[in-house]
Amino acid sequence: MLEIRENFSPVGSEEIISSVGGKAVHVTEAFDGSEKTGYIVYFYEKDKTVVLAYCDGGDMMLCDGLVRSVMFKSCMKGIDSVVFELKDESGYGNLRRLKFISGDSNVSENIDRFMNGCQNCKNKN
């Protein structure tokens, strides 16, 4: 069973964390049983959430779950924009396929509407 939870002592992400100069970086990890299957690294600013990296092992559904978990937490903080600042350019492919971002943009705006839009689709079926 897939479980997504925040890791408050993120071993293995020290290089990414140190690259943002003292920001309070968060790491959320995905587990299938006891096996770690992915993660996402991000931090909050006043008006946006910045995603620095994610690993989904090539699983687009896992990418979707990781990003949505960050979007949900951002919405709960009143933040309506997620900026993806990925060092690994290949990570943008799944984000575009999943419609989190479009074109050459690295910003997902109106995330509250995006999250509620998915809920509305469920209610139509």
**Structure confidence by residue, pLDDT tens digits, 90-110:** 999 999 999 999 999 999 988
CB-based contacts of 60, cutoff 8 Å, min separation 6? 94, 97, 98
The structure's pTM equals 0.83
22-53 residue pLDDT tens? 678 889 999 999 898 999 999 999 999 999 99
- Measured CA to CA, the distance from residue 75 to residue 110 in angstroms comes to 10
Q: What is the pLDDT of the chain when averaged over all its residues?
A: 84
User: What are the sequence ranges of the domains in the chain?
Assistant: 2-124
Please give the pLDDT value at position 97.
93
The CATH superfamily of 2-124 is Gcn5-related N-acetyltransferase (GNAT) (3.40.630.30)
